Every structure is written in C-alpha cells, then in structure tokens.
Amino acid sequence: MESKLTTNIFIHSFILEVVKWRSMPQGSRLGPLPFTVMIDDLQTPCELQKYVDDTTLSELVTPSCSVSNMPSDFASLLSWTEDNNMQINISKTTCKEMVLGLGRLNIDNLPLLSTSLGSVERVTSFKLLGINLDAKFSWSLHIYFISAKASKRLYFLKHLKRAGVPADQLLHFYVAAIRPVLEYCAAVWHYAITHAQAQQLQSSLYNKSSK
C-alpha cells in the first residue's frame, strides 16, 4: 500500500486466504513447504502481496475515472488456481473485498467480484495480518481492539501483583504479553491516529492498571 494517500485516490483491494490445494490433506507436515513453492509463481496484472496463504490484490482508483480492472485481475487469479489444481473458498470469512480511501467515490460503480461458487462480499472493515483496517483509514476499530486486548492482560497482571509475584517478573510479563499488543505494526498506524485516539488508548490502559 502507498504510505501517502490523497483525497483523490482509493485503494481497491481483494483480500483472501487464497487457495486450498486440492491434492494435499490439511494438517500435513509437508503441506506448508510445497504450498509455498506452488504459489511462488502466482502473478496478477495488479499489485499483489503474498504472505504464506494470505494474498491481497490491490489497485489505485481515482474518482475522476472510477474504472476498475479488478474483475479482470481477479479472473486472472481464478485462471491460475484452476491451472494449479487449487481453489478459492468463497465461503471463508477471510475472502473479502474492500475499497479504502478518503474523499468521494461512488463504490456502487465498481463491479462486484464473483466466481462460479458465488459473489465476494464487499466490506467496510477487515483484519489483515493483525491490523484492523477500515474503509476510511480512521484506525478507530484498531484502537478499540488493541485497547480491549491489552486491558484484559493488564487485569491479569494486576492479579499477579496481588499474588505477590516479584516486580522483575511482572515487568517481564508486561514486556512479553502486553507491550507487543500495543506496539504491533505501530509504524503503520500510530503516526496517523488523532490526539483523541491516543488519549483513548492511554486512558483505557491507565484506568485498568490503576484499579
């Protein structure tokens, strides 16, 4: 994804836990290695990001043009899966389409993606590799989820303190179990959050830890 977005550019993305290898039983110890080898040559005309079995197709769309090539790019992906004896599981919750950006764009003009098994759901938020994305890049959803997750672990930390766990071990628990939740991929989202969101994050953690 581009690190800078103007109000005139949108990212049209198709996100999926891409493909299932028809001839390889799930859970096999040999599964991950040959699967990684098999998808190495997966290519599409648009921008393509692969991480293990997660694949994201994306393109830039401008409101002045509003022309999307995603249907043809998606068709290219479907053709590749057929040629390599794989299939996309449309029923999985990880197979989604989302339009991200700021400004004015009539997304109804963008064609929906579909296969012979059904249509791909278009959503306004999605969790991708641990980051909660929303269509407007507000990061409100991500702040909410990491605050809730860290608060639960802070509650456990409080009980450890009451049980008499030494301070150095409490610090170790914080560094190992709580801090990673707050700092995961911070370079992606932290610079873009508002002052109010930063205060929301800090106050929720402070209130939980001080009780």
Among 7-11, 79-83, 90-94, the range with the most confident prediction by mean pLDDT is 79-83
Q: What is the pLDDT of residue 168?
A: 94
Element counts in the chain: helices (H) and strands (E) = 7, 11
Q: What is the pLDDT of residue 102?
A: 65
* Angstrom distance (rounded) from CA 139 to CA 55: 22
pLDDT higher at 56 or 64: 56
* Angstrom distance (rounded) from CA 13 to CA 68: 11
* Angstrom distance (rounded) from CA 22 to CA 27: 13
Least confident of 91-95, 116-120, 174-178: 91-95
Among 17-31, 56-70, 96-110, 180-194, the range with the most confident prediction by mean pLDDT is 180-194
Contacts of 103 (CB under 8 A, 6+ apart): 6, 7, 8, 9, 10, 63
Q: What is the pLDDT of residue 141?
A: 93
Q: Is the pLDDT of residue 35 over 50?
A: yes
SS (H, E, C) 3-45: CCCCCCCEEEEEEEECEEECCCCCCCCCCHHHHHHHHHHCCCC
Q: How confident is the model at residue 210 (pLDDT cuts 50, 70, 90)?
A: low
Q: How confident is the model at residue 140 (pLDDT cuts 50, 70, 90)?
A: very high
pLDDT higher at 101 or 164: 164
What is the arithmetic mean of pLDDT over 20-24?
50
What is the arithmetic mean of pLDDT over 147-165?
91
Q: Is the pLDDT of residue 24 over 80?
A: no
Least confident of 13-27, 79-93, 181-195, 197-211: 13-27
pTM of the model: 0.75
Least confident of 95-104, 132-141, 191-200: 95-104
Q: How confident is the model at residue 207 (pLDDT cuts 50, 70, 90)?
A: low
Q: Is the pLDDT of residue 7 over 60?
A: no
* 3 state SS of 130: coil
What is the arithmetic mean of pLDDT over 11-26?
54
